Amino acid sequence: MKRKVTTALVALVVLALTLWLGALAWSRHEVQARMAGKVADINALAGVRAINTIDNDGFFSSSGTLRVIMSDSDADADAPAGMIDWRVAYGVLSTRFSGHGDIMSRDGKALLADELSEGERLDFDAHIQHLGHDLTLNARFPDTMRYHGQNGQGQGPQTQGMTLRLSGARLGLAENEQGLRLDGQWSELAQQGSRRQVHFGETHWSMLFPADDADQTGDAPEGRPGRLDSLDISDARLQRQGGLPLTLNNLHLEGSTHHDRQEFSYLLKAQLGNAAFSEQQLGSASLDAVVRRINEPAARALLQTMGRDIRQRWQNARQQEPRDNAGLQGMAADDGEYPNNVHDLASLMALWQEAFFAVMSDSPQVVVHQLQLESPMLDQHMHLDGELTLDGTNIKTTRVEQLQTSWGRAAFKRRLDGQFTLHNAPPLLALVAGQAPDQDTLELVIRKGVFLVNDEPWFLLN
């Protein structure tokens, strides 16, 4: 009898072990297939190659290196590349990914470890749930990253360069049947240059992409919801060289996209806890507005064009470094046609200005449901509502060079048509607008390049 029980228990243990090993083998196969699919997706992108090398392919775990090269040429072996050293621990119900990452330049330097921090790289840890295909990823950047830039080739206070510091940066990603959520935070972001200083304190932001928004096509149903955004900044400080500081506290933003046929809108709500200019308290503010009638196909084309342009400029800048080191830096700086000259707006937008203006072809509109200001300098809450429309007729033919001329700017401003109502205007503001001091309601109108207050022309928009 005991022998039968023992035999049955052994059989159960063997069966359970067999099932466990079979399930582990299945999950291992699923993970490797998913990794191969992601590599194939990257290789399908223009100007990018992905090479995944498996160094240790075990049954319970694997490790390797993923190299994403910013070039689609096999001969360009020294092209800048993202390097990810990964390790996978397979499981029956979930699989864990972990590892480190960095970006390697042509000269062999690591962007994070060598140029922005003291030997630290990006650390990440991720879990994949096999039954629901849920993904959770957490990434930690170096504790403190610093960037030192240069503004010029000469000497003096205007060429001392710019310093950028980012501390406590974290990134999180969660994907499930409801969609994809991206979260980020940092404890400090500071920029200091010869002309101004900017500082952001504790910051949290998130972006939620609904699952039904993953594949947006023209045949999608009307009224389709889109991305949800949020941003919270504990404090921000802006100060120009020799000027007084402007401080903002408790800034909260909420935004969402809404798709309707070939147009989309962006709904925005914002709250500012307090603003101060030096020691003077300015007060708080809130905003409820929407930007609508944005040409969605044109907006997508613009993002794609800008992405290709930015990538090409970055590659050109990297290719220019050997020439600079060889003594040709002066020649490159004197060449006004150098494609990476981003100081000229027309040059910067040359490749995507047509797509930029096409975004406005459906006559976009800004609707302010309410902008409310509360200040110790005001007797009552001042609030504004109204809308502003940009006429998009034949706007695709507009060019940046035209906007750099006075007649071009005047013609563009004549496209604006808007009407706003300002309630509880203070007496001083009414006097400045040419109205009686007891006139606390101001009708603000923009029509054919003229700004009117209570049907009286105030000034021309030129």
What b/e sequence results for 78-90 when a residue is b if at least 16 CB atoms lie within 10 Å of its CB, and e otherwise?
ebbbbbbebebeb
Listed range (182-191, 317-326, 372-381) with the worst mean pLDDT: 317-326
110 assigned to some structural domain: yes
286 assigned to some structural domain: no
CA-closest candidate to residue 274, choices 245, 235, 244: 235
51 assigned to some structural domain: yes
199 assigned to some structural domain: no
- Residues of the domain holding 354: 311-460
pLDDT at 378: 86
**125-155 per-position pLDDT tens digit:** 998 887 777 889 999 999 999 988 765 444 4
**235-282 per-position pLDDT tens digit:** 999 998 888 899 999 999 999 999 888 888 999 999 999 999 988 889
Q: Which of 85, 115, 142 is the last residue of a domain?
A: 142
* Res 72 pLDDT > 80: no
174 assigned to some structural domain: no
* Res 202 pLDDT > 60: yes
pLDDT at 95: 87
248 assigned to some structural domain: no
Q: Which of 108, 142, 176 is the last residue of a domain?
A: 142
* Count of structural domains within the chain: 2
pLDDT at 184: 95
pLDDT at 219: 46
391 assigned to some structural domain: yes
Listed range (31-45, 106-120, 231-245, 411-425) with the worst mean pLDDT: 31-45
Contacts of 458 (CB under 8 A, 6+ apart): 433, 434, 451, 452
Q: Which of 142, 175, 195 is the last residue of a domain?
A: 142
- In whole numbers, what is the pLDDT of the chain averaged over residues? 82
pLDDT at 1: 65
Q: Which residue has the higher pLDDT, 244 or 26?
A: 244
